[in-house]
Amino acid sequence: MSDVPAPTLFTWEFAADPYPAYAWLREHAPVHRTTLPSGVEAWLVTRYPDARQALADARLSKNPVHHSESAHAKGKVGIPGERSADLMTHLLNIDPPDHTRLRRLVSKAFTPRRVAEFAPRVAELTNRLIDSFAPRGEADLIHEFAFPLPIYAICDMLGVPAEDQDDFRDWAGMMIRHGGGPRGGVARSVKKMRAYLLDLIHRKRSDLGDDLISGLIRASDHGEHLTENEAAAMAFILLFAGFETTVNLIGNGTYALLRNPEQRRLLQESVGRGEAGLLATAVEELLRYDGPVELATWRFATEPLSIGGQLIGTGDPVLVVLAAADRDPERFDGPDILDLARRDNPHLGFGHGIHYCLGAPLARLEGQTALGALLTRLPDLQLAVEPGELRWRGGLIMRGLRTLPVSFTAVQDVSNG
Ligand code: HEM
C-alpha cells in the first residue's frame, strides 16, 4: 500500500472526476471489494487485462439468480422498475444458451446494414434538433439535443408512429431522472412502455412493415420465433441500452471537446474539409477517454474463481470498471490525454465478449453525426458555465452530465442546415 490514502468512492466529488480514484485502485487494489451506496457488496475490477478477462468469463453469470444476497429481489440490482414490468428476459440478464438464441434472433433484425440505411434519417433528426435552438445562441445540449436524438432515432427504427414518440420521450425522461423523479414514477413509466410495446407488436403482427419491431416479429432461427413478451422485452432493452448511453456519448464527448480546444480545432478543420476519418477515430477516443458506461452491468460468480490473483467467491457480484480499464497506462500510451487520432485503441467502452454492445453501429452513427453537425453548424460553440458548476448524474453504471449549457453565435437562417 502507498502513503496516499485510499480514495472515497461514490461521492459527488468522485462523480465529477472518478479518474484519480480509479488510478489509485488500479495501482494498489486492482480487484477491490467495496460496499456500494445501495449497501450491496461487490468486487470492482479496474485493470485492462483483468477487465477483458472478466467480461468474457463464462463463470461470471449475467443472471441475478446467481447473486448470493439476492439483492435483485430487493430491487437493488438491475434496471429500475424492470421487475414490476416483467421485462426480465433480456440480453443483459441471461446466459447461454438462452442468450445465444435471443441474440441470434435480434441480430437478424438489427443488422449493421439496417443501421447504415438509417444514416440519412439520423442526419435529418440531428439537423432538426439543432434548428430548434440555433437561433437562440444558447442551449442546454443535454435536454435539447443529446437527450431527444437517441429517443427519436430508436423510436423511428422500431417503428413507433411519430404521434406516439413524445410519450416515449416522457417515459424515457422519467427513467433517466430516477432518483430525482416522483416516487414510483420509474416503475409506472416502464409499465406504460411495456403495455405500449405489447400493443404495438400485436398491431404490427397483422400489418408487418419495414421497421425493427416487424423485423423482430419476422425473425426466425431454425423455425423458432420470439414470443410477444420476448419481442417486447427486446424492444425495451434496445431502447433502454441505447438511450442514456448515447445521451452520454454526445454529452461527455462534446464536453471533452470543449475542454480540449486544440483537439477540437483539429477535428473541426477535418470535418470542415468533408473528411470522415478523424471523426471516426475521435468517437472511439471519446468512448475511451470519458465513455458513457462507467461500469459494465452486473456479473455474478457461479463458482470460486480468480481475477488478477484475487479469489472471488461463489455468488459474489463483480463490476468491471470500464472507465478505469480504458485509462490503464499498461495498455494505453498517455491514457489521460485526449488524442482524437489515436490508432491503437481497443477500448472497452462497448464491452467485450458475448455481451458486446449490439447497438455499437447505431451508437457510432449517432455519435459521429451529432458531433460532426455541432462542430460544423455551431463553429464557435463554447461552455456557458465554469466546468466546476456542471453536475454529473452520479448513477452507478452510467457516467453523464445532468446539463451542458453552451453558447454560440446565433444562426438565423436554419433552412439549409
Ligand atoms: C455510445 C453508446 C453506447 C455505449 C457506450 C454502449 C455500451 C454498451 C456496453 C458496455 C455493453 C455491454 C455491457 C456488459 O457487458 O455489461 C452494451 C450492451 C448492449 N448494448 Fe450498448 N451501448 C451504446 C449504445 C447502444 C445502442 C444505441 C443500442 C441499441 C439501440 C445498444 C444496445 C445494447 C444491447 C442490446 C446490449 C446487450 C447485448 C448483449 O447482452 O448481448 N447499445 N452496450
Q: pLDDT digit string (tens) for 200-220?
A: 999 999 999 989 999 999 887
Split into its structural domains, the chain has a count of 1
Using CA atoms, how far residue 213 sits from 81, 154, 230, 324, in Å, is: 22, 11, 11, 36
Residues within 6 Å of ligand 1 by CB: 55, 91-92, 103, 154, 237-238, 241-242, 245-246, 249, 287, 291-293, 296-297, 349-351, 355, 357-359, 362-363, 367
Residue 5 lies in a domain: no
> Probe ligand 1: pick from 91, 151, 245, 319, max atoms within 8 Å of CB?
245
Domain extent for 349: 12-407
List the beta bridge partners of residue 406. Answer: 139, 383
CA-to-CA distance for 310 and 32, rounded, in angstroms?
Answer: 9
Residue 7 lies in a domain: no
Condensed to tens digits (0 to 9), the pLDDT of residues 307-345 reads 999 999 999 999 999 999 999 999 999 999 999 999 999
Distance from residue 2's CA to the centre of ligand 1 (Å): 36
Rounded to a whole number of angstroms, the distance between the first and last alpha carbons of the chain is 56
Residue 119 lies in a domain: yes
Closest ligand 1 atom to the C-alpha of 154? Answer: 30
39 conformational bin, left if phi > 0, alpha if psi -120 to 50, beta if neither: left
pTM attached to this predicted model: 0.94
Residue 140 lies in a domain: yes
Condensed to tens digits (0 to 9), the pLDDT of residues 294-316 reads 999 999 999 999 999 999 999 99
Residue 360 lies in a domain: yes
List the beta bridge partners of residue 45. Answer: 31, 320
The residues, any chain, with a CB within 8 Å of residue 386's CB and separated by 6 or more, are none
The dihedrals phi and psi of 300, each to the nearest 5 degrees, come to -135, 130
Distance from residue 194's CA to the centre of ligand 1 (Å): 20
Average pLDDT of span 40-54: 97
CB of 47 closer than 8 Å to CB of 25 = no
Residue 301 lies in a domain: yes
pLDDT of residue 86: 59
CATH code, 180:
1.10.630.10
Distance from residue 49's CA to the centre of ligand 1 (Å): 20
pLDDT of residue 75: 54
Using CA atoms, how far residue 84 sits from 87, 125, 198, in Å, is: 8, 33, 15
What share of the chain has pLDDT > 90, as a percent?
71
Residue 256 lies in a domain: yes
Distance from residue 323's CA to the centre of ligand 1 (Å): 15
How many CB atoms sit inside 10 A of residue 273's CB? Answer: 8
Residue 71 lies in a domain: yes
